[in-house]
Structure 1
Amino acid sequence: MPLFLKLATAIAVSMASIDVGIDVAPACADEPTVGESRPNILFAIADDWGWPHASIYGDPVCKTPTFDRVAKEGILFEHAFISSPSCTPSRNAILTGQHFWRLGGGANLHSVLDTKHQAFVHLLDRAGYETGHMRKMWGPGDASNWEVNPAGKKFKDFDQFLEMRDSDKPFCFCFGAYDPHRGYKKGSGKKSGMDLDEIRLFDCFPDSETIRSDVADYYFEVQRFDSELGQALKRLEELGQLDNTVVVVTGDHGMPFPRCKSNLYDSGARVPMAVRWPKKIKANRVVTDFVSTTDLAPTFLEIAGVEIPKTMTGQSWMPLFEFSGTEDVALIEDDRDHVIFGKERHVPAQEAPDVGGFPMRAIRTAEFLLIENFRPDRWPNGTPNYKQAQIPSAWLADTDNGPTKTYIVENRDKDDNHRRCYELCFAKRPRFELFDIQADPEQLTNLAYDPEFAEVRDKLHGRLTEELLASDDPRAKDSAAATKYFDSFKYLGQGPRHPSFKKQKRNSKAKN
């Protein structure tokens, strides 16, 4: 059965019942069923860690022995994608098992998640699991409307959780890290011994030592996350619990660099993903099926023997775990030949008085990536005209500040390649973008308006729209109304400012 029909069947909500399209009523599962012997769950998520920055994916500089171990002793996913390349909506989608566009204000960065949406952590807690998290699992945003954080009770670290838990119960712990989110200690990567010449830069970056060193600093924090996770696995081994624990390791979206985080190209939307569960998963498996991080919640619930709420749009990975057929099949599940994802407001990064984001949706297959940009009049990564910004001095504010961003902006007129890189990262974009994955794996050449690819574009767009409608995405129903809806939610954060902003603040303080 096609995936869109599965979604339509699973979602018992009429389009007329939605606030401009989207007030999805919660579906309460029956009292959870509990298995006799349930495994523990350790879910490790890095902050801003994107594909393919792990040694097992072929990165020659970034060394990730713990992630590699999990993958070698279980499954390495080749096509894992987030729901939205922005921290809050990505994590909301993970916790609720739903496409981010179904989550109201929770579809935006620095927001509030309505308590009508059920988080898998709370469902596991009700089913008898000991639950908790450390550092960053949910957010950023305001969770004061929740009696307990959507990610459960917060602990200092994994060791504290293990000491305080009831050892007679199975546990689910979210090993949330701050690494490798900016800022970085400048030069930390090079100082650690990384060879800057060996770093493989995305082709949207000019080749400079400044950028290579910045990427090395990012790698340094990826490796720190990997090392800390290694200590957690060692602790489970000491307790005799490692083989009774499902270990899942991933990131919430791409690296915090231009054309990565907050973008729908693979550099922003594709993430590392590995799962270890020796009681169910054979070692050294590579899965090429397309999976979404919205699949994690229903997977964890099925592992625990808990009924999956009907509102969840993600699909459990149990059939992938239990597959025992020929290992070289193209797909284990026919429906997993693609994935859909998107973005609403990251930062209110447009020019005043516009408080909106850059809304877009995408469908990714093995052959193509199609992106629909619903507001091509807006800046895709925020206005460069910081003096006119809605947030005072917000500067290309959907892209985190850092040496790479500054270098690309300051050197945009150096030569043709620098200008090309600047435009790829920051220039306005047309309504549609289409990329041939085999010929253009980094998705740099837009074929959407090439007559030779018109049929491919239209077919993919029809398929994308069909699935968006089936999942109650207001963008597919009435985009103008959806813009008002998503942009109406209060933004609780700040945003990257132009370098002159700090100088202005210093001068202002000096005068006062």
Structure 2
Amino acid sequence: MKIKNATLFLLLLLSCKNFLFAQAFAERPNILWISVEDISPLLGAYGDKSIQTPNIDRLAREGITYTNAFATAGVCAPSRSSIITGMYPVSIGTQNMRTGPHYAYREPEAETYKTYISLKDIRGRNVPEYAAVPPPFVKVFTEYLRAAGYFTSNAAKTDYQFNSPITAWDEIGKDAHYKNRSAGQPFFAVFNHEITHESRVFMKKADPMLVDVNKVRIPAYFPDLPVVRQDLGRVYSNIVELDQQIGKLLDELSAAGLLEKTIIFFWSDHGGPLLRQKRAVGNSGLRVPLIVRLPNGAMAGTKVENIVSLMDLGPSVLSLAGIEPPAHMHGKAFLGTFKTKTPHTFAFGAADRFDEAADMSRSVIDGRFVYIRNFRPELPLIYRNAYREQIDMTRTLIEMDQQGKLSGNAAYIFMKTKPEEELYDLASDPDEVHNIAHLPEQQAKLKEMRAALGAWQLEIGDLGFIPESDLVNMMWPGMVQPATEQVTFKKEANQLRLSCSTAGASIAYQLDDEIGGSKWRYYHKPLALGEFKKIAARAVRIGYKTSAVSYLLAMK
């Protein structure tokens, strides 16, 4: 009887707690993303004391720190495609970096593609610029927010492997801001910070150093050289500058009276910017910082060890906004009304083509062990990539390797061929330099991780096995971008219905004086006739050309 009463009391307590949490967000919360680039968890909140980051520390102190958060790819565009869709890149054809000039939004009429850019697929065939075409049921998750009345703004990066649909954002560009919403309208706002991007390691190398380079931790896969310390120091210095930018953003929220009315997400699109970090498929390339601050001290100081993927961000935002995430999404909500009851057991990652270098590896991480399957073991681990070789230490290490001057752990990442399978125990080998896949005592773990990878690839339909030239031809028959059909109008009683015959298309529209401007409303329900005189509409499916504009004089 005592056990039964105790259980009943616990259930009542949890019910009250959930009720209070729901009441706290009875009004739909504002949600803000601090999206940053190319950083591993090199922060005090994750145990790295190399630098002081008081503003990020504040977010962790007042929020929830996720200690096992991972990207789905170790490079920006495939990772961001998973974030905006809630899907694994290898399941929707967005896994190859990069498919076209999608890092910033282009107006539909400016969306053009080059047929030759000197890229080859795994069989040596031409890969043109293109926009990936996911299955028709895949949408950008911000459309669900717009349908629920949210104002959505993005300042300003997209990089989704397809041009951002005109239906995705109320405002997009460097001046996009939540302050431009209607009075009382909840917002979802994204502010992207590029200060920590890989390019800033070489672009800012002459800037004053904001860290003592003699005190930074050098990963085991790098030799302790002045040039290595210099570039690692720049990575940390850029994080210091990032922290200052975040401080200004928090001050702006406070000044507007919005800090305790806004849920703040802080995350990086993938791991660090250096060799064996960016573009890598293991822990060093996929593990990221993720902190969520809820208003009014809710869950302040909490640490969550569950496996979380960046593709869970969209479903979690929807859940916090009271919107049930679509069933097709691979991502799972880790907060809010529709928080999943079955967190991920594993984090899965993929590495395919990176600019001019084609490869294929897949990974499984359970929080302690990392399993990597290399499908092209004949290729070296560190391939040539012109973009990253603008970093001084990268060029130096490549030259030293060519001259046979690297040894031990520093030589490990320059293996000339890769093992088919890699297994690392992060508890004893945090830098992943001791492959234990061959050890007899690790065979049970190896089989477990191998089986998990195979099951996942079958479940999500891994498109990495299709050579990219063929993949493009599947999405763009005859290598020609498909076009979205025009919007049609239908009057029913006192309502106007808009439709498009292209499967998976979304519709945007403008009314009266808005027509001809750059901003588009999102169509999600019939419009009441008599409230406007003229309407313009166009449709777009992800990866397709946006339709031509359809017009109608909307008389009752």
| CA–CA distance in structure 2, aligned partners of residues 122 and 286 of structure 1 | 31
Match of 1:129 among 147, 150, 153: 150
Q: Which residue matches 1:60? A: 49
Q: Which residue matches 1:9? A: none
Residues 223 and 410, structure 2, Cα contact 8 Å, conserved in 1: yes
Q: CA offset at residue 237 of structure 1?
A: 1.0
Look up the equivalent residue of 2:377 and give its one-letter code.
Answer: P
| CA–CA distance in structure 2, aligned partners of residues 57 and 222 of structure 1 | 14
Q: Which residue matches 2:350? A: 342
Match of 2:88 among 75, 92, 99: 99
Residues 262 and 398, structure 1, Cα contact 8 Å, conserved in 2: no
Trace 1:174-253 onto structure 2 (pairs within 5 A): 174-181=190-197, 182-184=199-201, 185-187=203-205, 191-253=208-270
Q: Which residue matches 1:84? A: 73
Q: CA offset at residue 142 of structure 1?
A: 5.1
Trace 1:148-187 onto structure 2 (pairs within 5 A): 148=167, 150=168, 153-157=171-175, 161-181=177-197, 182-184=199-201, 185-187=203-205
| CA–CA distance in structure 1, aligned partners of residues 434 and 255 of structure 2 | 51
Q: CA offset at residue 40 of structure 1?
A: 0.5
Look up the equivalent residue of 2:163 and give its one-letter code.
Answer: A
| CA–CA distance in structure 2, aligned partners of residues 264 and 474 of structure 1 | 17
Say which SS state the counterpart of residue 401 (structure 2) adopts.
coil
Judging changes above 3 Å, is the alpha-carbon distance between structure 1 residues 485 and 83 closer, same or farther for their aligned structure 2 residues? farther
4+ residue runs of structure 1 moved beyond 6 angstroms?
319-322, 413-416, 487-491
| CA–CA distance in structure 2, aligned partners of residues 451 and 333 of structure 1 | 35
Q: Which residue matches 2:394? A: 405
Trace 1:64-463 onto structure 2 (pairs within 5 A): 64-105=53-94, 107-111=96-100, 112-114=131-133, 116=136, 117-136=138-157, 138-139=158-159, 141=161, 143=163, 146-148=165-167, 150=168, 153-157=171-175, 161-181=177-197, 182-184=199-201, 185-187=203-205, 191-278=208-295, 281-318=298-335, 335-349=343-357, 357-382=358-383, 395-397=384-386, 399-412=388-401, 417-418=406-407, 420-425=409-414, 427-463=416-452
Residues 400 and 406, structure 2, Cα contact 8 Å, conserved in 1: no
Say which SS state the counterpart of residue 119 (structure 1) adopts.
coil
Q: CA offset at residue 338 of structure 1?
A: 2.6
Match of 2:31 among 26, 30, 41: 41
| CA–CA distance in structure 2, aligned partners of residues 443 and 151 of structure 1 | 40
Q: Which residue matches 1:472? A: 461
Q: CA offset at residue 124 of structure 1?
A: 0.9
Say which SS state the counterpart of residue 390 (structure 2) adopts.
coil
Look up the equivalent residue of 1:128 and give its one-letter code.
Answer: G
Worse overlay, 162-171 or 229-238: 162-171
Residues 360 and 374, structure 2, Cα contact 8 Å, conserved in 1: yes
Say which SS state the counterpart of residue 289 (structure 1) adopts.
coil
Q: Deviations over 1:4-28 (max 9, x none)?
A: xxxxxxxxxxxxxxxxxxxxxxxxx
Say which SS state the counterpart of residue 411 (structure 1) adopts.
helix
Worse overlay, 258-267 or 448-457: 448-457
Judging changes above 3 Å, is the alpha-carbon distance between structure 1 residues 45 and 209 closer, same or farther for their aligned structure 2 residues? same
Residues 188 and 217, structure 1, Cα contact 8 Å, conserved in 2: no
Judging changes above 3 Å, is the alpha-carbon distance between structure 1 residues 321 and 245 closer, same or farther for their aligned structure 2 residues? farther
Q: Deviations over 1:322-348 (max 9, x none)?
A: 8xxxxxxxxx96644432221222223
Residues 135 and 178, structure 1, Cα contact 8 Å, conserved in 2: no
| CA–CA distance in structure 1, aligned partners of residues 143 and 55 of structure 2 | 28
Higher alpha-carbon Rg: 2
Residues 352 and 359, structure 2, Cα contact 8 Å, conserved in 1: yes
Residues 72 and 311, structure 2, Cα contact 8 Å, conserved in 1: yes
| CA–CA distance in structure 2, aligned partners of residues 225 and 334 of structure 1 | 34
Q: Comparing both structures, which one devotes a greater share of its residues to strand?
A: 2
Q: CA offset at residue 320 of structure 1?
A: 11
| CA–CA distance in structure 2, aligned partners of residues 151 and 416 of structure 1 | 52
Residues 264 and 294, structure 2, Cα contact 8 Å, conserved in 1: yes
Q: Which residue matches 2:533? A: none
Q: Deviations over 1:393-421 (max 9, x none)?
A: xx334845301201211222677644752
Look up the equivalent residue of 1:339 and give its one-letter code.
Answer: A
Q: CA offset at residue 366 of structure 1?
A: 3.1
Judging changes above 3 Å, is the alpha-carbon distance between structure 1 residues 275 and 262 closer, same or farther for their aligned structure 2 residues? same
Residues 105 and 486, structure 1, Cα contact 8 Å, conserved in 2: no
Q: Which residue matches 1:5? A: none
Look up the equivalent residue of 1:169 and give its one-letter code.
Answer: Q
Say which SS state the counterpart of residue 38 (structure 2) adopts.
coil
Residues 68 and 305, structure 2, Cα contact 8 Å, conserved in 1: yes
Residues 258 and 405, structure 1, Cα contact 8 Å, conserved in 2: yes
Look up the equivalent residue of 2:364 and give its one-letter code.
Answer: I
Q: CA offset at residue 249 of structure 1?
A: 0.3
Say which SS state the counterpart of residue 183 (structure 2) adopts.
coil
Residues 401 and 414, structure 2, Cα contact 8 Å, conserved in 1: no
Judging changes above 3 Å, is the alpha-carbon distance between structure 1 residues 65 and 321 closer, same or farther for their aligned structure 2 residues? farther
Look up the equivalent residue of 1:147 and give its one-letter code.
Answer: I
- Percent of matched pairs sharing the same residue: 27
Q: Deviations over 1:146-178 (max 9, x none)?
A: 335x56632325xx6144221310000111122
| Unpaired stretches in structure 1, ≥5 consecutive residues | 1-34, 323-331, 350-356, 383-394, 492-512
RMSD: 2.9
| Unpaired stretches in structure 2, ≥5 consecutive residues | 1-24, 101-130, 480-556
Residues 334 and 343, structure 2, Cα contact 8 Å, conserved in 1: no
Judging changes above 3 Å, is the alpha-carbon distance between structure 1 residues 335 and 317 closer, same or farther for their aligned structure 2 residues? closer
Judging changes above 3 Å, is the alpha-carbon distance between structure 1 residues 103 and 151 closer, same or farther for their aligned structure 2 residues? farther
| CA–CA distance in structure 2, aligned partners of residues 151 and 199 of structure 1 | 40
Q: Which residue matches 1:16? A: none
Look up the equivalent residue of 2:182 and give its one-letter code.
Answer: D
Say which SS state the counterpart of residue 306 (structure 2) adopts.
strand
| CA–CA distance in structure 1, aligned partners of residues 449 and 244 of structure 2 | 41
Q: Comparing both structures, which one devotes a greater share of its residues to helix?
A: 1
| CA–CA distance in structure 2, aligned partners of residues 367 and 275 of structure 1 | 23
Judging changes above 3 Å, is the alpha-carbon distance between structure 1 residues 474 and 321 closer, same or farther for their aligned structure 2 residues? closer
Q: Deviations over 1:419-462 (max 9, x none)?
A: 75244146331211111222211111112223332232122101
Say which SS state the counterpart of residue 404 (structure 1) adopts.
helix
Number of equivalent positions: 418
Judging changes above 3 Å, is the alpha-carbon distance between structure 1 residues 484 and 156 closer, same or farther for their aligned structure 2 residues? closer
Judging changes above 3 Å, is the alpha-carbon distance between structure 1 residues 302 and 127 closer, same or farther for their aligned structure 2 residues? same
Residues 121 and 152, structure 1, Cα contact 8 Å, conserved in 2: no
Look up the equivalent residue of 1:155 and give its one-letter code.
Answer: G
| CA–CA distance in structure 1, aligned partners of residues 206 and 56 of structure 2 | 21
Q: CA offset at residue 107 of structure 1?
A: 4.9
